[in-house]
Chain A
Amino acid sequence: MTEVEPAHSLAPLLAIWLPIAGGILISASGVPGLFLSRRSAGGEGVSAALHILGATAALAGAVLSLGSGSPAVLDIAWGLPLGSLRFELDGLSAVFLPPLILVPALGTVYGLRYWRQSEHPTTGRKLRAFYGLLAGSLVLLTMARDGVLFLFCWEGMALSAFFLVTTDDQDREAREAGWVYFAATHVGTLALFGIFSIVHAMTGSFGFDPLPRDAAPIGAGSAVFFLGLIAFGLKSGLMPLHVWLPGAHAAAPSHVSAVLSGVVLKTGIYGLARVTWMFPHPPMFWGAVLLALGMVSGIVGVMFAIAQHDLKRLLAYHSIENIGIIVMGLGLAMLGRAMARPDWIALGLGGAILHVWNHSFFKSLLFFSAGAVVHRTHTREIDRMGGLAHSMPVTAIMFLVGAVAICGLPPLNGFVSELMIYLGLLRTLHPEGTGPLAGAAFAVPVLAIIGALAVACFVKVFGAVFLGAPRRDHAGEVREAPAALLVPMAVLAALCIGIGALPAGVVPFLDRAVETWETGPAPRPQSLAQLAPLGWVTAIAVAVWGGSALCMIGICRLVRPHRVARIGTWDCGYAAPSARAQYSASSFAQALVAVFRRVVRPREHSPRVHRLFPRRASYRSHIHDVVLDEWIRPAIERISRLAMKLRALQTGRVQIYVLYILLAAIALVLSNVPVIDLLRRMVTR
């Protein structure tokens, strides 16, 4: 026993120091490579090794912390005038860490082959340096408990993400996406300044701490909440604030897209969870606002996704959809806190956090496999792919796993987290005298539509990219992705399958997070193990895997090889079938886009046929982002046009400027003269 004692006292120290040390190590992982020459490939190995070492340390610390009951704290006096160096790893921070550590670490392995130094001599070193900085600041960010420290980490993340999006800075599209992102993220930072100033005015410190009811009046509290919604909504891509997201995800290298979509967005969710954690007594409308925003984001996100032609843009819009689902869970938890309903809190927040994990895993899996496809076919246009399941069979299976998971279908992980949110929403149906709250049940059919639309979208993507015949000639020469790309995918696919089959394994972590988050007066939340039918989920997953495998074996027995004839696809006897006559992704989506044309507003350029023998014609359709291209860009253009009018003042003549100085001096003198007083005296004499 005496030997165990020191280990016990060591555990909290390790739990805080390991993630910090790991975070710093990851941040610095790309630095040694900067000192090597452009031609040298040594930096790649060093940065990957350092990154993985740091990730292992950080992950160990996070698991230690999740295992122990109490939060680990590190508070050091800081020489700077503002704030203090305070890190704390409680249940809420720790539960976000595993995906935040794991996905970038897998991405760095992927990057070894995807963005080789020898193939990208000018950008490789820069990419790795900022990639490490991004991944490291993510880890430190979730633990920072002081406002100023948080802002440092936040800016570290935001700026390195900017340089990653613009990795390919010769590309005009990447530069533009980078600038939109840059502007968006700094609007968010401005809102963060607002939050910390208000909190400082209320409590006298910049720290994140739960605010007692009397310290947080409803007005100031709501200001903090809505500023948080802007800052963290911008980061996580919540619907009207998502403008930077599709472009940035599409332009970045694929492993960076995976990190942006799988992980960086989640810091916004972490921020929302942390800000709401500060208010034990929220008014009910906060929860309602979150729930409504989540629904809008979910539905509109997936509608836009269906209409996309670019593989990575499409996946980016799905991130908006999934963030919507997560925010719906968070909104339900807020309603639960306002109504003192522990079961809503547990199912809503637990489901939201599990969806954070799940989305990190399946979305990174999808971006990794999409990246492998882009790497081999050199295009992101879905309609120029096709038939890749023949040439890239393993990548196809990986993408399929991700697709089934993101649609929330059993037996994979997406189903488990959506089921929890569904169950929580359904619980708003029954209590006596619900009044307006029964309206929350309308989120159930909304979630169902989101699920059905996601199915439609991923049938389209998988079908158009991997199935059918290649739509271009050289698509037939495409080879399977190399092992360095496939291994990270396999790890993520295994996680998707594992969580889908055995959710009980992660539920203790979720319970810890829910307990930490619940600072309000509601009774102690029950364990999710009692609220959600986890045993049934496992049973169904095993049954679906086993049963489908058995049916597959059965049908393969029946389809005897010697009685199989191989012919061409039935084409109604058409004499000259061509792969280009296949149903394309755009035509597949056309029916749905037509149903939602009021929201999505597709632009179509179709040829007019006005003679008997029509000439060559072409048809094009494209989808704008309604918020960015129809609201924000015109508004900014109008503002800059107004600002241009001010240029009339700047003539460039020195005499005119001297006149301005003179006028200003007169104005200053006059401002000291009590004009009103003088006038009054003149009138009254």
Chain B
Amino acid sequence: MIAMIDLIAHVLLLLLMPPLLLGVIVKTKAAFAGRVGAPLLQPYYDLIKLFQKGTVLSRTTTWVFLAGPTVTLFAVMVAGLLVPLSGRPAPLRFAGDFILFAYLLALGRFFTALAALDTGSSFEGMGASREVTFACLAEPALFLGLLALARLSGGLSLTALLGGQVGGAWIAAAPTMVLVVGGLFIILLVENSRIPFDDPNTHLELTMIHEVMVLDHGGPALGAVLYGAAVKLFVLSAVVARLMVPVASERPVIHWPVFVVSMLLVAVLIGVVESVMARLRLLHVPNLLLGACLLTGLGFILLLGSSS
């Protein structure tokens, strides 16, 4: 029974909650700027509107242009089923599933970047180039962080890495956990093209990363792109939220509300970071990503030292 409730709650939250995070981030930034800001539910209105619109397609494009958003959306959805959102076992779990998690995100990136190149626009080529470049540097940081968690938890599935044992990991190896959470938060920002890596609100094509890749998408395709991006933000935020708020309980009435609140906290944190920081120069982005690798790598090495 509880397993059934968990499954339903997991799927419903995964489908419905992602745009809310965008709304919270925007609201937080508005609060910092002293504005009222768009309504909290504005991203939902935008999506509904986009899915009803007509489409403008470039003459240069092929089927790849529409495959980009759809494959990406589906890949991040499946990735979301691997994460134990509330600390209870995820719907899909097996030893080594975090590799699948990372590779599903990579599959999404592959097709998003291809859809960008399909337009033949140099702006979108630029965005795709930046996206894959930064991903190459973010990938080792992500894997080193996950390795540290695997070493701590003794398991190889995301359910083991992020499930009920996170609290014990904080007690056993707090320094490592701080480093890993820091590194993964940077990954969260870069993978979702947030400040300081990319400014989702910028107006200049030359400086964007993710937004410029989808310049030519419109209507339902753009809706799928935005929704997919929101789901990706949700999934990666859930990983960070699980590590920061390691509550484990057997009762759905406790752990699901705790999860929702912790997700909102992460969204507020992203909003705060976006409000107090400026976007980095693109040339400096690799340095910050190497910093993330060092953080998570150091966390992992600390563990190796402590065990022997």
Contacts and interface: CB of A to CB of B under 8 A. Distances in A.
A560 B54 contact: yes
Nearest to A539: B92
B139 A555 contact: no
Contact of A452 (B121, B123, B135, B223): B135
A400 B113 CA distance: 13
10 contacts: A550-B74, A552-B70, A555-B70, A567-B57, A569-B61, A570-B121, A583-B125, A583-B126, A588-B125, A589-B129
B121 A571 contact: yes
A547 B70 CA distance: 9
Interface of B: 51, 53-62, 64, 66-67, 69-71, 73-75, 77-78, 92, 94-97, 99-100, 102-104, 106-107, 109-110, 113-114, 116-126, 128-130, 132-133, 135-140, 142-144, 147, 150-151, 154, 156, 205, 215-216, 219-221, 223-224, 286, 297, 300, 304, 307-308
A449 B56 contact: no
B246 to A, nearest CB: 21
Nearest to B64: A467
A548 B71 CA distance: 5
Contacts of B97: 533, 536
Interface in A552-580: 552, 554-556, 558-560, 563-572, 579
Contacts of B220: 555, 558-559
Contacts of A451: 103, 106, 139
Contact of B224 (A387, A396, A555, A579): A555
Given A438-B304, A453-B136, A552-B66, A410 B60 contact: no
A430 B138 CA distance: 25
Interface string A461-490: 011100111000000000000000000000
A439 to B, nearest CB: 8
Contacts of B286: 595
B285 to A, nearest CB: 10
A445 interface: yes
Contacts of B59: 566-569
A455 B120 CA distance: 19
B49 to A, nearest CB: 13
Given A469-B120, A565-B54, A568-B59, 17 more contacts: A389-B118, A404-B107, A434-B308, A441-B147, A452-B135, A452-B136, A452-B139, A456-B135, A459-B113, A460-B129, A463-B113, A536-B92, A547-B77, A551-B224, A571-B121, A579-B120, A582-B125
Interface of A: 386-387, 389-390, 393, 396, 400, 404, 407-410, 415, 418-419, 422-423, 426, 429-430, 433-435, 438-439, 441, 444-446, 448-449, 451-453, 455-456, 458-460, 462-464, 467-469, 533, 536, 540, 543-544, 547-548, 550-552, 554-556, 558-560, 563-572, 579, 581-583, 587-592, 595
A569 B120 contact: yes
A456 B95 CA distance: 27
Between A456, A469, A571, the greatest number of chain B beta carbons within 10 A of the residue's beta carbon is seen for A456
B60 A469 contact: yes
B54 A467 contact: no
A569 B110 contact: no
Contact of B95 (A410, A423, A581): A423
Contacts of B92: 536, 540
